[in-house]
Structure 1
Amino acid sequence: MLKKIDQAALFLEKNQQVFRCPFCHEAMKAKDKTLFCSNRHRFDLSKKGTLYFLKQHVKTEYDQKMFQHRRALILNGMYDPLIALLAEKCQGERVLDVGCGEGSFLHLLEQQATLLPSVGFDLSKEGVYLASDYNQKHFFCVADLTNLPFNKGTFSTILNIFSPSNYQEFARVSQSNGQVIKVVPRSGYLKELRQAFFPEDLAKQHYSNEAVIAKFQETFPKMERKIVTYTFEIPENCQHSLLEMSPLEWSVTKERKEFLQKNLLSRITIDLEVLIGRFSADNMKNM
Structure 2
Amino acid sequence: MLKKKIDNGRDFLTAHLDLFQCPKCQAEFTAIKGNTMVCQNNHGFDLSKKGTIHFPNHHLTSDYDKEMLLSRRNMIQQGLYAPLETKLTQLIEASRQSETIVDMGCGEGSFVERLKANLLEKNFIGFDLSKDGVQLASDFSDQGFFFIGDVTQMPFQDQSIDVLLNIFSPSHYEEMKRVLSEEGVIIKVIPESGYLKEMRESFYHDNEDKQHYSNEQVYDKFKKDIQLVSEERLTYTYPVFHKDYEDILKMSPIHWGASEEAKEYARKHPFKELTIDVKILVGKKA
Provide the rounded CA distance (Å) in 2 between the counterparts of 1:44 and 1:264. 46
Q: Which runs of 4+ in 1 moved over 3 A?
A: none
Whether 1:181 aligns to 2:187 is yes
Whether the 8 Å contact between 2:227 and 2:284 is mirrored in structure 1 is: no
Q: Quote how far apart the aligned CAs of 1:212 are.
A: 1.1
Report what 2:46 is aligned to.
44
Whether 1:230 aligns to 2:236 is yes
Whether the 8 Å contact between 2:116 and 2:122 is mirrored in structure 1 is: no
What is the TM-score when the length of structure 1 is the normalising length? 0.94
Provide the rounded CA distance (Å) in 2 between the counterparts of 1:220 and 1:38. 33
Provide the rounded CA distance (Å) in 1 between the counterparts of 2:255 and 2:121. 34
Report the identity percentage. Answer: 41
Q: Quote how far apart the aligned CAs of 1:223 are.
A: 2.4
Report what 2:226 is aligned to.
220
Report what 1:70 is aligned to.
72
Of residues 225-234 and 262-271 in structure 1, the stretch that sits farther from structure 2 once superposed is 262-271
Q: Quote how far apart the aligned CAs of 1:222 are.
A: 4.0
Report what 2:23 is aligned to.
22
Among 256, 260, 278, which residue is 1:272 paired with?
278
Report what 1:167 is aligned to.
173
Structure 1 gaps, min length 5: none
- When the two chains are superposed, the root-mean-square deviation of aligned CA atoms in Å is 1.4
Provide the rounded CA distance (Å) in 2 between the counterparts of 1:248 and 1:149. 31
Whether the 8 Å contact between 1:50 and 1:132 is mirrored in structure 2 is: yes
Provide the rounded CA distance (Å) in 1 between the counterparts of 2:143 and 2:33. 18
1:140 maps to amino acid: F
Equivalent positions of 1:48-127 (< 5 A) are: 48-91=50-93, 92-127=98-133
Alignment: residue pair count: 280
Q: Quote how far apart the aligned CAs of 1:266 are.
A: 2.5
Q: Quote how far apart the aligned CAs of 1:65 are.
A: 0.7
Of residues 89-98 and 16-25 in structure 1, the stretch that sits farther from structure 2 once superposed is 89-98
Among 193, 198, 209, which residue is 2:199 paired with?
193
Q: Quote how far apart the aligned CAs of 1:256 are.
A: 2.2
Report what 1:210 is aligned to.
216
- Offset from partner CA, 1:119-162 (integer Å, 9 cap, x none): 11111111011001014231000111111111111111110000
Whether 1:5 aligns to 2:6 is yes
Of residues 263-272 and 78-87 in structure 1, the stretch that sits farther from structure 2 once superposed is 263-272
Provide the rounded CA distance (Å) in 2 between the counterparts of 1:11 and 1:175. 20
Q: Quote how far apart the aligned CAs of 1:115 are.
A: 4.4
Report what 1:153 is aligned to.
159
Whether the 8 Å contact between 2:71 and 2:250 is mirrored in structure 1 is: yes
What is the TM-score when the length of structure 2 is the normalising length? 0.94
